[in-house]
Structure 1
Amino acid sequence: MPAVDAETAVLIVGGGPVGLTARALLARWGVRTLLVEKRTGLSPFPRSRLVNVRSMEIYRGLGLAARIADRAFAPEYGRIRFRDTLYDRDFATAAMIGVNEPVPESPVIGVLTSQDRLEPTLLAAADAPVRFGVELVDLVEEAEGAVAVLADHGSGERTRVRARYVLAADGAHSTLRPLLGIATTGPGELGRFTTVVFDADLGRWSAGQPAGVYFTAHGSFGPVHPEGGWLWFGLTPDDAAHTDWPGLVSRALGPRAGVRPEVLRVQHWVMNAFVAERFRQGHVVLAGDAVHALPITGGLGMNTGVADVHNLCWKLAGVLRGWAGPGLLDTYGTERLPVAHRTLDQTVAATRLMVQVQTRRNEQLRSGAAAEDPVELPWSERYFAQLGLVLGVAYRSGAVLADGPAPPEASGSSEGGTDYVPTAEPGHRMPHFWLAPGRSTLDACGEWFTLLTPDPARWEHLPTAPWPLRVEALPRAHTEPCGLGPQGALLVRPDGHVAARWPAAPPSEATLRQALAAVTGSPTS
């Protein structure tokens, strides 16, 4: 057994939004963590720019949604626009449903914000140690955990930290994934891109028609922060080291713009598309881009990672606190791996459709059509809804007690990721209903299981120790949509997904206890 310098319950590797969200979630459970990040600080780049409606629900549960929204763009920026150049009129446009305006299926609205604005909010959400400039360079598995070798890039010092579990959220170029020998499937590298952050007065072409992204024939543009700043991204030039970036952005804007931008930052990056073959190995669990790198179309990459750790952290807490068996962690991969594959398929398809828009535009211009003629989009306005994909996910695993035989797919979403049909069937996200003014059924979930029932008195006396449980009254107006009778109940997991449903009264005193034991993989005694 190697000597160690420190111990922690969970070592989080990676200080991006996914790792920081995991740290905040585990702090709410009282789980001791240490987060290490090889960068010297938080990201100074905009990078991920969309916090979708499901992620905002998760951040609402952490008490962060209002702070994130306060620093984000107004809802009218939840739109993409296609133009020949930034100063031309739209030849096509599409709304980001759930971002451009509220939807009745959720108590929150998604927001457009930059990662450099999101990360400080997430960092401040927990009082747990973070070490920047520290990289995991080796890992030794033990019977009851793992020992990580950490290298401090500033001091050159190496330390050993023993953890019960290691959570790898260290990105598409993960150190841990290849170290564990975990292979990936999918297209792989799709292209090399560059993002240029710059200052310029472009308001006269954008103020009247705001958008999160303007796609043009010469790269894409987007506002960085509500108070100012712009970014351009496109394919990395062959001679990137000697590229005149102000000149490149100026040419992309076009000669009519007459703008010489002030370049602030330049970042090169690779667009990857893959899913890891497994999400866990021994005492190491992986999340975010470390297990599924997604094309940026639709802004699903970071959000899928946030949903990963929301699924994972209550399970880690249960195992560490003793009310769940270690087998519960197996359900993390069982539930999230199919979602990752479905999301990758969706984003690859969406990327191809975006290319089709520009192809159709080029064909239109070659045919002699007027420049102001619109282009018929290769999708309906509902395509970018994604509500089925982000709200309609259905888990099938040992952590769900199904009403009956499982459907053919193990895990999935309604209508191929577009339309969302609320349902309280086990495995699905609990539908949003208002319990009281400003209080949603989703607000009843937290660091506990929730029993929603129109008849609390019949259920609240049932013994449930050692599992954390709260019984919550469900207004009778919502019982029929949930498939419940006047004495029925829904058992909702801490991540807001329905674990079990009883349409009628509990059949025995042991009903609830047996269900909690089955869902958490722990003995009833």
Structure 2
Amino acid sequence: MAGVETGVPLQADTLVPGFSVGKGVAATVVVLLVERGVSREPDMPAADSEVEVLIVGGGPVGLTARALLERWGVRALLVEKHGELSPFPRSRLVNARSMEIYRQLGLAATITANAFAPEFGRIRFRDTLHDRDFAAAAMVGINAPIAESPVLGVVTSQDRLEPTLLGAADGQVRFGVELIDLAERADSVVALLVDHRRGEERRVRARYVLAADGANSTVRQRLGIDTTGPGAMAAFTTVVFDADLNRWCAHQPAGVYFTAHGSFAPLYPEGGWAWFGPTPEDAARADWSDLVSRALGPSAEVRADVLRVQHWVMNAFVAERFRHGRILLVGDAAHAIPVFGGLGMNTGIADVHNLCWKLVGVLRGWAGPSLIETYEAERQPLAHLTLRQAVANTQLALHVQSRRREQRLTGEAPPAQIELPWSDRFFAQLGLVLGVTYHSGAVLTDGSEPPELSDVGTDYVPTAEPGHRMPHLWLTHHRSTLDAVGEWFTLLTPDPPYWKRQATAPWPLHVEPLPDAHTDLCGLGPHGALLIRPDGHIGARWRDRPPIGSPLHQALTAMTGSTPPA
């Protein structure tokens, strides 16, 4: 995880100089005139090339956006300032909602094959790694199948996930290329890039830019977008090492073991471990092998073979804006979520799933620019809710360890078990993962009363109210309602002949029969219908056959902000 340096807010009519690139590369100054929050470009030289979408950042969120855009008909250029994919494990949980998205991309089976078995979907608390558990909890939706989804989430390391995502699309990826400045025109964004390998600069003109460049986002800082939230919570170090720890873990597998001396996590099914804990004061001189060996406990007598060390800051913030004209923040650039509960990367994956179909609609002409405005309206409130939940997770996990230490300091024998201050569902948060609802112009209400975001809890109750993710229901033995969603709008109805007559250009639309067994759960009569967006959220519902007219055409026009034909 990267740290964050909050950008300085830009003031109206302020001239902001660009900054010089690294040694050996000719420095270029680009001047941005900021007026009423929109950057203007007075004299940026002509671009060397043009793309529809430029993605900045090659982590899981940027790579997922690239795959989604290509699946939906748009090839993007992705640039990543590092010379290769990250060699560090970093995020380690792909939840059920993310796996539903990867199922849509045809990647779920490959990701699962490279991941840990479901029994690793647990957290365990121990005094040392070789002691017995004094508390444990399941990650619901990870450790065993659930009726609410056709897939299971998995425990896997980010460095195992990213190569699969990289291979999921053919669009150009350029490693070692860094965005150092950008400026917006009325119809495009010009990005100034530097290729660190070649020592060359290049200007790329893009219709839209997706900033997936992490919590320390250059794009966010260049735009002067500030953040809100606790900010930097703690400095941590991750140590990747090899050691034989099977004698204490093989019969009680877990995705992470919390101990009094830091946390231990298995990295890959075939072996490898990571330890993470507070960064010591004299980190530059630390003997990491000795530190990890001591963290294992005095009686462990195991020597850790250290392979990599990474220092990082656990941040907690949400950007004040997710959009600046044609530039959109996604993932950690938009919200840095503490690691406890595994919500950070998954929230970013949901960001781009929400956004990419909207970009495609505008780029292909079947949606108006106002549709992109709904990205911030739908995702920013959820980011604040997720941040609050993750901070609560952090506080509760630390409370368990603090409570244990207090018991040991009393000099009395600590109890064999501690009751966790949450239910088994706390670290799964299915209500937050599967049960969120969107409120925006891209959702048409039908008179039902959707719950407020603050009401989303750990439990998930399937509902077909507009704004919610379409509930998972089996259409056939192996085909879910979620499998009917794709690069199109999906209309689910028990009366396909009537609604097929309503289908109209220019929107991509598939009409699917809904078995009668599901109509009651969906709140539909014999001629009703659900209109599902490409991201799987319900955009509109007709409880029964609507009045005479063109309800489907009217709904799609309103949801997509398109201009109806004259």
Compute the TM-score of the two structures, normalised by the length of structure 2: 0.91
C-alpha displacement of 1:376:
1.7
Give the match for residue 317 of structure 2: 274
The answer to whether the 8 Å contact 2:439/2:467 transfers is yes
Please give the residue correspondences for 1:192-271 in structure 2 after superposition, counting only pairs within 5 Å: 192-271=235-314
- Deviation digits for residues 56-82 of structure 1, max 9, x if unmatched? 000000000000000000000000000
* Structure 1 counterpart of 2:545, one-letter code: A
SS of structure 1 residue aligned to 2:498: helix
- Deviation digits for residues 190-212 of structure 1, max 9, x if unmatched? 11110000000000000010000
Matched, 1:522 2:562: yes
- Deviation digits for residues 30-56 of structure 1, max 9, x if unmatched? 112100000100011100000000000
Matched, 1:429 2:469: yes
Give the match for residue 95 of structure 1: 138
- Specify every segment of 5 or more residues in structure 2 that has no aligned partner in the other structure, as ranges: 1-43
* Structure 1 counterpart of 2:500, one-letter code: E
Number of residues paired by the alignment? Answer: 522
The answer to whether the 8 Å contact 1:357/1:377 transfers is yes
Runs of 4+ in 1 over 6 A off after TM superposition: none
Instruction: Give the whole-Å Cα distance in 1 for the aligned partners of 2:454 and 2:375.
Output: 17
From 521, 537, 547, the equivalent of 1:481 is 521
SS of structure 1 residue aligned to 2:425: helix
From 542, 547, 550, the equivalent of 1:502 is 542
What is the percentage of aligned positions where both structures have the same residue? 72
* Structure 1 counterpart of 2:510, one-letter code: R
The answer to whether the 8 Å contact 2:450/2:465 transfers is no
Give the match for residue 126 of structure 2: 83
The answer to whether the 8 Å contact 1:388/1:413 transfers is no
Matched, 1:294 2:337: yes
The answer to whether the 8 Å contact 2:404/2:414 transfers is no
Please give the residue correspondences for 1:21-420 in structure 2 after superposition, counting only pairs within 5 Å: 21-371=64-414, 373-404=416-447, 407=450, 409=452, 412=453, 414-416=455-457, 418-420=458-460
- Deviation digits for residues 105-146 of structure 1, max 9, x if unmatched? 000000000001100000000000000000000101111010
Judging changes above 3 Å, is the alpha-carbon distance between structure 1 residues 73 and 391 closer, same or farther for their aligned structure 2 residues? same
**Root-mean-square deviation over aligned CA pairs:** 1.1
Give the match for residue 498 of structure 2: 458
- Deviation digits for residues 272-315 of structure 1, max 9, x if unmatched? 00000111001100100001001000010000000000000000
- Deviation digits for residues 423-456 of structure 1, max 9, x if unmatched? 0000000000000011100000010000000110
Instruction: Give the whole-Å Cα distance in 2 for the aligned partners of 1:96 and 1:396.
Output: 29
Instruction: Give the whole-Å Cα distance in 1 for the aligned partners of 2:57 and 2:381.
Output: 24
SS of structure 2 residue aligned to 1:271: strand
C-alpha displacement of 1:96:
0.6
* Structure 2 counterpart of 1:458, one-letter code: Y
Instruction: Give the whole-Å Cα distance in 1 for the aligned partners of 2:562 and 2:149.
Output: 33
- Deviation digits for residues 452-489 of structure 1, max 9, x if unmatched? 00110110111420000000000000000000001100
From 45, 55, 61, the equivalent of 1:12 is 55
Judging changes above 3 Å, is the alpha-carbon distance between structure 1 residues 75 and 436 closer, same or farther for their aligned structure 2 residues? same
The answer to whether the 8 Å contact 2:184/2:326 transfers is yes
Give the match for residue 22 of structure 2: none
- Specify every segment of 5 or more residues in structure 1 that has no aligned partner in the other structure, as ranges: none
The answer to whether the 8 Å contact 1:394/1:413 transfers is no
Compute the TM-score of the two structures, normalised by the length of structure 1: 0.98
Give the match for residue 35 of structure 2: none
C-alpha displacement of 1:413:
6.6
SS of structure 2 residue aligned to 1:260: coil
- Deviation digits for residues 399-422 of structure 1, max 9, x if unmatched? 00011276574xx27543x00000
Instruction: Give the whole-Å Cα distance in 1 for the aligned partners of 2:63 and 2:295.
Output: 35
Instruction: Give the whole-Å Cα distance in 2 for the aligned partners of 1:403 and 1:7.
Output: 42
Judging changes above 3 Å, is the alpha-carbon distance between structure 1 residues 178 and 499 closer, same or farther for their aligned structure 2 residues? same
* Structure 2 counterpart of 1:349, one-letter code: A
